[in-house]
Amino acid sequence: MIKKEINLISDTITRPTPEMLDFMMKAEVGDDVFHSDPTVIELQHKISSLFGMEAALFFPSGTMANQTAIKLHTQPAEQLICDKWSHVYNYESGGASFHSGVSCNLIDGHRGMFKAEQLSEVIHDPEQYYLPLSSLVVVENTTNKGGGACWDYAELEKIQKVCAARGLSYHLDGARLFNALVAKNEEPKQYGKLFDSISICLSKGLGAPIGSLLLSSEENIHKAIRLRKLFGGGMRQVGYLAAAGIYALDHHVDRLQEDHDRAKLLGRALMACDWVDKVEPIETNIIIFKLFKHLDEKLFLTGLEKEQIKIISMGEGKLRIVTHLEFTDEMLAKVIEVLERI
């Protein structure tokens, strides 16, 4: 019988498994600010090799990794292009304008994704000196606000060709990229050859307690070391946390399919509820759904909390459920049972 709270607000709420903790405590560490932490060096080499990119740098957060990438690829008064639901625009505290002095040109895509043709239409002509210079395109895979949607790889290739032809850099916010790789049966090196930089989060579905990585060229990562320091991201004996990332990459990637399967089962249960207006297509571990407009969203969330189930509102009538490695089949059965009788 489930007695403890079932927390489905995010895949970031997980704690290290006993096996991960044991691996962390055995890590060899040094001072990473002086580039002398062997476990951090191992993690950075592991992820860059996995994606076929030249180098990587360990960051305390995905936001810092993304903001560093933006600053690497732009100059003040320039403009980055992203979807209107993009994380770098909506959920990074206005960092692009504050840290890099750039504006965001938002594309009205579908579920956080857009077409190469849409991109071509919004890139400014560099000869029109009165317009911000378009210098960077950012895409997010999977899309958070789009309900864990996965980009079509062929479309990403088309966008890369537009970027190359028009002289724009190309960054991937890959906070949940491994979910997309598992769901689409794709390989990391497919993405490594496509993007100028990629951020990877270790503390979402992969289950590490903290940490993200920025992957790019040797030259860019050398510059990123200075920017990370500027942003306050220099860390000392951080190999203990890097070890969690190594363990996650070795043991928690393939199991992401379990999260996807449980999310789809929850989605089916929601679609059978007569008080649910819409459930977005479910590809990975995020479920976005809406209640009928006459229903009280806050009352619904309170009702779930009384059953010790927590989910989150994303605004605009959207409710979000995220499955993760602490969400078991027993918990799944409890949530479905509650949804059927609530």
Same domain, yes or no, for 193 and 273? no
Measured in degrees and rounded to the nearest 5, phi and psi for residue 106 equal -95, 130
Given CA atoms 22, 244, 188, 255 in this order, what sign does their dihedral have? positive
**Cα 237 from Cα 232, distance rounded (Å):** 15
Q: What are the residues facing 79 on neighbouring strands?
A: 103, 134
147-200 pLDDT, tens digit each: 999 999 999 999 999 999 999 999 999 999 999 999 999 999 999 999 999 999
81: pLDDT strictly greater than 80: yes
Percent of the chain, pLDDT > 90?
97
SS3 content of the chain, % helix, strand, coil (to 5): 45, 20, 40
Residue-level pLDDT at 79: 98
Residue-level pLDDT at 315: 87
**Cα 309 from Cα 327, distance rounded (Å):** 11
**Cα 188 from Cα 44, distance rounded (Å):** 15
Structural domain harbouring 334: 6-13+255-341
* Average confidence (pLDDT) over 42-71: 98
* Average confidence (pLDDT) over 55-78: 98
Give the confidence band of 275 by pLDDT, cuts at 50, 70, 90: very high
Residue-level pLDDT at 106: 98
**Cα 149 from Cα 141, distance rounded (Å):** 7
Same domain, yes or no, for 27 and 162? yes
Degrees to nearest 5, angle at CA 104 with 99 and 108? 150
72: pLDDT strictly greater than 80: yes
Q: What is the pTM of this model?
A: 0.96
3: pLDDT strictly greater than 90: no
Q: Is residue 44 part of a domain?
A: yes
Residue-level pLDDT at 209: 98
Domain boundary residue, one of 203, 230, 251: 251
214-258 pLDDT, tens digit each: 999 999 999 999 999 999 999 999 999 999 999 999 999 999 999
Residue-level pLDDT at 164: 98
Taking alpha carbons only, the member of 25, 102, 85, 44 closest to residue 228 is: 44
- Report the domain count for the chain: 2
Same domain, yes or no, for 293 and 279? yes
Same domain, yes or no, for 192 and 275? no
Q: What is the mean pLDDT of the chain?
A: 97
Same domain, yes or no, for 107 and 198? yes
288-328 pLDDT, tens digit each: 999 999 999 999 999 999 999 999 999 888 999 999 999 99
Same domain, yes or no, for 331 and 240? no
Q: Is residue 173 part of a domain?
A: yes
2: pLDDT strictly greater than 70: no
Same domain, yes or no, for 217 and 329? no
